[in-house]
Structure 1
Amino acid sequence: MMDTLNSKNILNFLNKWGVILAVILIILFFTFSLPDLFLTSSNIINILRSISIVTIIAVGLTISLSVNGFDLSVGSAATVSSSLIISFFVWYNMPFGIALPLAILLTLIIAGINAFLIVKVKIPDLFATLSTMFIFEGVAMTYTGGGSISVGMPKLDGSPTTGKLPELFLKLGQTPWIIIIMLISVFLVHLFLNHSKHGRYMYMIGGNQEAARLSGIPVKKYRALAYVLSTFFAALGGIVLASYVGSSQINAGSGYLMPAVAAAFIGSSFAGHGKPNAIGTFVGAVLVGVLENGLVMMSVPYYSLNIVKGTVLALALASTYYSQKKF
């Protein structure tokens, strides 16, 4: 009997704090393996900078997961917003105060289409956002002519451009601003989900949609809102990415989808929440970022990194769902 209780307590502890323990163990491993390189202030800042865009996109994805949805279109939304804002500066000489909100507003069209397909047409979230992922990847490539956009490059019709990237815009992708934007995003989503009635409604919808409806919660409204907010943070991530790179690249946001998914799912088990949460998502992003940074410093080939990240995600999911089944 005591052995059973002890094993349950151990499993429960690991389920709550396994992600934190994993981060600590990985940091200790790389610190001893790379004594003068890994645990330095410059490398810590480098890790935080490297996970900033992933985390911004991932906290938006976390909101869609809170209503038991799944937004696969966040990578395409990031690509669209990065393409739009660079083109506004380079092609149309727009000021920063107009280009930024306009790029976000136009990217939110993706959220409107997602909400229509999911809430009105009742297509399952996964399939609806998979469709819009491909559609808006194509839209972004068509808009840019299948190429990148950077300062000095001519328009698609061959006419010259004179637009420049504003200094204020370029600061968004620089340290410390890129890290500050990430931390503010995490903080705001944490407050929204955990300390507002709207976040609590979303968690109720994610837990039992029919019970939430019978309780008087406007389920359709909040499911649509979840996709609007998910797309908003994806658009913000795409704009920060464009600032960081200084140009618009082909399918630039697609590479952030899987890391964002990994961070959100790994973070679901943080502190025993058993549900998507912003702080856990940030910790999940740190776990993936620390692991990737350390492996790169140990000269592990870049093409092998996905094996490790996929394994970490599988272990995190196994821990979460196995514990939920047992307890």
Structure 2
Amino acid sequence: MTGQLRETTTLMRIQDWVVKYGFIGVTIILFVYFAVTEPAFATSSSLFSMLKFASVTAILGLGVTFTMVVGGLDLSIGATAGLAVQLAAMTMVFYNLTGPTAVVAVLLGGLVVGLLNALLIVVFRIPDLLATLGMMFVIQGAKLIPVDGQSVSSGMVLRDGSVAPGSFTQDFLKIDRGFIGPVPLPVVIMIALVALSWFVLSRTTWGRLMYAVGANPEAARLAGVRVGFYHGLAYVISALLASVGGLILVSRIGQGDVNAGSSSLLEAVAVALVGTSVLGMGKPNAWGTLLGALLVGIVLTGLTMKGLQYYHQDTAKGLVVIVALLFSFTLSRKKLRYTPAT
């Protein structure tokens, strides 16, 4: 009986280690594999490019993380990023305004979207998924109306037959193309937002109350927590983060692409879900979301270097999410029990 108890205890320790560190281990193993098999993968330029590529997904994933913390999910986050792309392009190209003006316009647009989502969810009590799904369709259609369904670019012909007077300013393009020392500016923005999100969620009363609202809104309400306020706040933060991701995206592509942000929703949700498995937390968290974005970046960059075609990427991302969910839910819920021998 003592031997069986010792064996069960050992298995439980192994399981705890796998749940806590298994996903980080998978990330390290994949990184080492690609670094060994593709020498160019581990160069500083490649690593910075990978981090830069992951920045938009990570920032949008942070927005999803905040809504998951309060027990919801923002399906409009990709459309909001696409709206940011269009607003920035129209501000500079159509109205010949400055880059900082475009940044302000984009953030105000994100704030409006976040407040509308909060209004639908908190005041009108529409379920989160349905409210943000409807908002997603509204934004996707509304952003095409002023441009007649066309991408916005310098020198384009307007409705009245005139040529657009403005263009993307150099200071605006530096949002994606600038550097702080050797580090690309999008990477700096990503790390700063992750650190700020971690601080808000883990080290402030607001963050702890958001987790309380997500865990049990009725109990939080009985404890005197303003459940509606914190629920709505999460969606405002999500929309603002989506706008920041859109700013990086539009400065990267240099035009108001009407399809920008279309695939961002699934990627953002994926990295936020992946993040729940980090260190066996089983809950949304900022550093986990960053690791999820980096893992997806490692997989996609490595497969691209190995010559796999783009249509393999969705399958690879799906497998990453499934593995993460195994660590986050299946393994963490499976309890080993010791049964004395009879």
For the 8 Å contact 1:79–1:238, the answer to whether it is kept is yes
Q: CA deviation at 1:124?
A: 1.7
Structure 2: segments with no counterpart, 5+ residues: 336-342
Question: Which amino acid counterpart does residue 34 of structure 2 have in structure 1?
Answer: F
Cα offset, 1:19, TM superposition:
2.1
User: 1:166 corresponds to which residue?
Assistant: 169
Match of 1:143 in 2: 146
Task: State the secondary structure of the residue aligned to 1:143.
Answer: coil
User: Residues of 2 paired with 1:311 and 1:7: CA distance?
Assistant: 26
Structure 1, unaligned runs of 5 or more: none
In structure 2, the partner of 1:13 is 17
Please report how far the alpha carbon of residue 323 of structure 1 lies from its aligned counterpart in structure 2 after TM superposition: 3.3
| Contact residue 153 and residue 167 of structure 2 kept, 8 A | no
* Aligned residue runs from structure 1 range 3-152, under 5 A: 3-34=7-38, 36-152=39-155
Query: Could you tell me how far 1:156 is from its partner in structure 2?
Result: 3.4
> 1:166 is matched by which residue type in structure 2?
T
Q: CA deviation at 1:318?
A: 2.4
The match for 2:197 among 173, 189, 203 is: 189
Amino acid at match of 2:166: G
d(CA) in 2 for partners of 1:307, 1:43: 23
Larger Rg: 2
Aligned to 1:201: 209
- Range that drifts further, 130-139 or 285-294: 130-139
Residue type of the partner of 2:222?
Answer: L
Residue 144 (structure 1) shift: 2.4
**Secondary structure, aligned partner of 1:128:** helix
> Quick one: percent identity of the two aligned structures?
38
RMSD, aligned α-carbons: 1.4
Structure 2 distance, partners of 1:7, 1:320, is 18
Q: CA deviation at 1:311?
A: 1.3
1:45 maps to amino acid: F
How far apart are residue 309 of structure 1 and its match? 0.8
From 213, 237, 259, the counterpart of 2:221 = 213
Is 1:323 matched with 2:327? no
Give me the whole-angstrom Cα distance separating, in 2, the residues matched to 1:222 and 1:158.
48
Secondary structure at 1:37 match in 2: helix
| Correspondence list, 1:304-315, <5 A | 304-315=312-323
The one of 224, 244, 247 aligned to 2:232 = 224
Residues of 1 paired with 2:12 and 2:156: CA distance?
A: 62
The DSSP-based 3-state class of the residue aligned with 2:160 is coil
CA contact (8 A) 1:193 1:200 kept: yes
Letter in 2 for 1:120: V
- 3-state DSSP of counterpart to 1:157: coil
Query: How much does 1:324 deviate?
Result: 4.0
SS across alignment from 2:89: helix
The 2-side partners of 1:310 and 1:322 are apart by 17
1:179 and 2:182 correspond: no
Equivalent residue for 1:260, pick from 257, 261, 268 = 268
Encode CA deviations 1:67-122: one digit per residue, 9 max, x unaligned.
Answer: 01100100000000110011100100122332211221123222122112211222
Q: Distance in 2 between matches of 1:9 and 1:139?
A: 54
Structure-2 separation of matches of 1:248 and 1:64: 27
Which of 288, 294, 298 pairs up with 2:306?
A: 298
Q: What SS does structure 2 have at the residue aligned with 1:303?
A: helix
Does the residue aligned with 2:263 lie in a helix, a strand or coil?
A: helix
Q: Which of 234, 243, 246 pairs up with 2:242?
A: 234
Give the Å deviation of 1:10. Answer: 1.9
For the Cα contact (< 8 Å) 1:137–1:251, is it kept in 2?
Answer: no
Q: What do the CA deviations read for 1:5-29 (whole angstroms, capped 9, x no partner)?
A: 2222222222212221111010111
Matched positions, count: 326
Which residue identity does 2:239 align to in structure 1? T
Counterpart Cα distance in 2 of 1:256 and 1:155: 29
Question: SS at 1:280's partner residue?
Answer: helix
Distance 1:297 1:3 in 2: 44
Distance (Å, rounded) in 2 between the aligned partners of 1:58 and 1:143? 29
Measure, in 2, the Cα distance between the counterparts of 1:143 and 1:76.
16
Q: Normalized against structure 1, the TM-score is what?
A: 0.96
